[in-house]
Chain A
Amino acid sequence: MARTIFEKSRAGRRGYRFSGEPAPAPSGIPDSYLRKQAAGLPEVSEPEVMRHYVALSTLNHHVDKDLYPLGSCTMKYNPKLNEDVAAIKGFAGLHPEQRDDDTQGALEVIHLLEEKLCAITGMDRFTLSAAAGAHGELLGMLLAKKYFVDRKQNRRKVLVPDSAHGTNPASAHLVGFQNQALPSGENGEVDLDVLNRNLDDETAVFMLTVPNTLGIFESRIGEIIELVHAKGALCYLDGANLNALLGWARPGDMGFDIIHVNLHKTFSTPHGGGGPGSGPVGVKEALAPLLPEPRVRRENGRYVLAADGAESVGAIHSFYGNFGIYLRALSYIIRHGGDGLRRISAAANLNANYVAHALDGLYPIPHGKRCMHEFVASGEPFKKYGVRTLDIAKRLMDFGFHAPTVYFPLIVPEALMIEPTETESKETLDRFIDAMRQIAKEAAENPELLQTAPHNTPVRRLDEVTANRKPILTAPLEDSTG
């Protein structure tokens, strides 16, 4: 296995030199403030650093290599144009404390993106500062909380369907709301009777994902939102699945009060091995005064970064959020235009349905035959061979694909959540379908092949139990003293 950068360290090697070296000992700092030993950083040359990280990179599966059907994550192709846009020095070299006169282009970018997100979602106002989807949810909950506090209403309850992402209850809890999980109906949708029974004048928010995590559009969304509003509560949309709706339907039109969208899912900004993301939050006019920085306004033909109003919930980021991600998302929207965005969702839904249709039967899809941009199949039939969903996921890697999301949502046993996205060709989908069929066959004929999979990956199954019982979270210090 690959050595760590620390194990490659040799005393005296240098990777980078600054002009002005060697600098004098720090003269302005008393001894008592100084660290006793230099930090134990590795000592390696630049070519070694290059080779080390190139070698590591090759161990990753990634979208530019092949299909990444990780349900709910929208692993679509990340257009290279976006990277070029974000690298323009006039953006990347801007300091957040520069005056508005020097940042007119950047403020215009923020303004434009807010405007376009409003147009796409039907919301009245957007704020961009949340640095990830979960961060957007937190902001959304803060907004809801303040909305009711300002109105002197003591509403403490948040309702969340049992099919929801775990972040939903976690975000609600962070701002002091109490969660209540609602069991989904037989068809995987919100059960209106259950909702009605649980709605009361203590209910602050109903958090909903549309289409839901099963890839199903809530067919009674209008009634649901009316019910919630009738009780004086707000409706929150987790926009994780917006890729299914672009140009076809808008959460704002349905009546949602607060939504967050994920620029790193729907709007193609790269996932970066886990981040940075961006989770802009959109609201209806009634909540607009509560929004945090950045508040960009157009005044007398120029853009100004206005301070928070008195009603704002405050700040949730050091500055204005992940600006570099806004550029990529805006570039994506401008490149596609209205018609292009509509085509994206059509293709995303077509691809998901095509795969679902081909796999149904082999891998049962408990919640209906038609889906939106993703669907949830079950590995249940293979349990009789001693094969679990995890084994199917691991075996898929031997075919060069990333695994789907597994064991989520919790309401489908042995869940396999598959989201192909729109940027996959029919040939790729066919290859994936063939692999899934082959795996189904193997499960019956040679279950051990699956139970011990993957076989062709850089490493095989890992000892997670020991990693949890006795985690090793850092490299030993002596590794860089060699």
Chain B
Amino acid sequence: MSFENMRFSKEHEWVQFEEGSNLVTTGITDYASGELGDIVYIEFPEVGQELKSMEPMGTIEAVKTVADIYAPLSGVVREVNTVLNDDPGIVNQSPYGEGWFVKIEMSDRSELDGLMEKHEYDRMVGKG
């Protein structure tokens, strides 16, 4: 898969964006879902909720761990992936696809520049 239109945060979230649109899709990285193990529950922000970059917007739980999910960008929550309520394991199977978390309408497109590209992220987690 191509990571060209994706950016990564140091808290292991990814953002997928399109030119000419402020609506981005976010999720957690393959590395993060692997470290957590089998994901059993996700607590989402509410649709319409305002987010500030790098503040917690939800939590993700495995059997014996719980981690905060940080908003990779500032903006407003437009959609959450409610499918994950019934089957959170999708995050483990398809972290960059069907396992997406929320769609955010960015309020400041320039924040994308503060995030990492895939190769930079890989280097951060020691895989690059």
Contact = CB atoms under 8 A, between A and B. Distances in A.
In the complex they form, whether A and B have CB atoms below 8 Å apart is answered with: yes
Interface of A: 407, 464-465, 468-469
B88 interface: yes
15 contacts: A407-B64, A464-B63, A465-B38, A465-B40, A465-B63, A465-B89, A468-B40, A468-B41, A468-B61, A468-B63, A469-B40, A469-B41, A469-B87, A469-B88, A469-B89
Contacts of A407: 64
B32 to A, nearest CB: 17
A298 B89 CA distance: 63
Interface string B69-109: 00000000000000000011100000000000000000000
Interface of B: 38, 40-41, 61, 63-64, 87-89
Contacts of A464: 63
SS class, residues of chain B in contact with chain A: loop
A220 B88 CA distance: 48
Nearest to B92: A465
Contacts of A469: 40-41, 87-89
Contacts of A468: 40-41, 61, 63
A325 to B, nearest CB: 30
A465 B64 CA distance: 10
A469 B63 CA distance: 9
Contacts of B87: 469
Contacts of A465: 38, 40, 63, 89
Contacts of B40: 465, 468-469
Contacts of B41: 468-469
A468 B87 CA distance: 11
A468 B38 CA distance: 10
A407 B89 CA distance: 24
Nearest to B88: A469
User: Which of B40, B41, B61, B63 is the most central at the interface, judged by chain A CB atoms within 10 Å of its CB?
Assistant: B40
A465 B89 CA distance: 9
Nearest to A465: B38
User: Which of B38, B41, B88 is the most central at the interface, judged by chain A CB atoms within 10 Å of its CB?
Assistant: B38
Contacts of B38: 465
A468 B60 CA distance: 13
A407 to B, nearest CB: 8
A9 to B, nearest CB: 32
Closest 3 CB pairs of A and B: A468-B40, A465-B38, A469-B40
A392 B115 CA distance: 41
B66 to A, nearest CB: 11
A469 B89 CA distance: 9
A464 B63 CA distance: 7
Contacts of B88: 469
Nearest to A468: B40
User: Which of A407, A464, A465 is the most central at the interface, judged by chain B CB atoms within 10 Å of its CB?
Assistant: A465
Nearest to B38: A465
Nearest to B61: A468
A468 B36 CA distance: 14
A465 B63 CA distance: 6
Given A465-B40, A465-B89, A469-B89, 12 more contacts: A407-B64, A464-B63, A465-B38, A465-B63, A468-B40, A468-B41, A468-B61, A468-B63, A469-B40, A469-B41, A469-B87, A469-B88
